[in-house]
A and B are shown apart, each in its own frame.
Chain A
């Protein structure tokens, strides 16, 4: 998965308009960044075959942090 595809998926699960998220977006400023949104992020990682600890997802502050958590699974 590319960074662009990841961000697109993220926009979808966090219920934001297309093109609204960038790597620098602060997650706490996104209205969909709640427990249900985080479940959606877990699902993205799950589809990539990754089991990222929920605490690490919750403690992420920017979109770039979520990309970093995926490591080499995101190009």
Chain B
């Protein structure tokens, strides 16, 4: 079964590494135009190059025109603006753009969530309507209850949940989403529904993501926007290998063994989540709406 996203504009947050990067590469190779959101310009460039390497008919990697720090420079730099034009060679005889577009967007979702819908509008105004969104950006916070301060809860909530809701607001705006149908995928976690000591901030924020999905799956039916979640277990990414899992290993064998026992199929790969995202973005899932798809190797069944 080949899943085809040809010509569809899809925005991916957290695209600069890990799960978001794997999703970006996979859906670009499935034919989509990808809009790569992340805070780190250099790492976004690497994702863009990986996308390009994964697909034969790769168009230009566009200059990042939406980086707030660079907007003024770009407005006056004619060379940069010209660099954003798709090569004429890549436009087919009917005038349709044949090659895939890769648009890196350096952006911090937590800096001003109210700006997120405006960003979506600017992107749609320049590149056309969006068929999809994947919200993969997120932060982890390992703190036991006794160590948690209000700021820890709020910071995690803003990046993981509030920005997801504001992205959905942006996608829902007229002129931003495709009138024929769109699909949004928000990355949750098994922690939203399975207990994990020390992960209250993270679990609460991911629980909010899942509530957001269920509400919007109904609210946005009239706009033909499907909204679903993917809940991964521990995935081998730089964030987990250098952060959470490393910390777990160092804390001692009791916690390490517990975490490993709860993964009967071992830890997942970023592509395990990316494949699930590709399915939910594609028309093959057109009757699936408001679900949480567990990509967890059986974690949630134990």
Question: A residues near B, CB below 8 A?
Answer: 12-13, 15, 34-40, 42-44, 47, 53-55, 58
Q: How distant is B150 from chain A, measured CB to nearest CB, in Å?
A: 13
Contacts of A38 in B (CB 8 A): 251
Given contacts A13-B146, A39-B147, A40-B144, contact A54 B197 (CB under 8 A): no
Query: By DSSP majority rule, is chain A's interface helix, strand, loop, or mixed?
Result: helix
Contacts of A35 in B (CB 8 A): 251-252, 254-255
Q: Is the CB of A36 within 8 A of B197?
A: yes
Q: How distant is B218 from chain A, measured CB to nearest CB, in Å?
A: 38
Look across to chain A and name the residue whose beta carbon is closest to the beta carbon of B256.
A35
A-B contact count, CB below 8 Å?
43
Q: How far is the CA of A44 from the CA of B142 in the complex (A)?
A: 12
Contacts of B252 in A (CB 8 A): 35, 58
Given contacts A13-B147, A15-B146, A44-B147, contact A36 B198 (CB under 8 A): yes
Q: Is the CB of A39 within 8 A of B144?
A: yes
Q: Is the CB of A54 within 8 A of B250?
A: yes
Contacts of B179 in A (CB 8 A): none
Q: How distant is A41 from chain B, measured CB to nearest CB, in Å?
A: 9
Q: How far is the CA of A38 from the CA of B254 in the complex (A)?
A: 13
Q: List 29 A-B contacts (CB under 8 A).
A: A13-B144, A13-B146, A13-B147, A15-B146, A34-B254, A35-B251, A35-B254, A35-B255, A36-B144, A36-B197, A36-B198, A37-B144, A38-B251, A39-B143, A39-B144, A39-B147, A39-B198, A40-B143, A40-B144, A40-B146, A40-B147, A42-B142, A43-B143, A43-B144, A44-B147, A47-B149, A54-B246, A55-B250, A58-B250
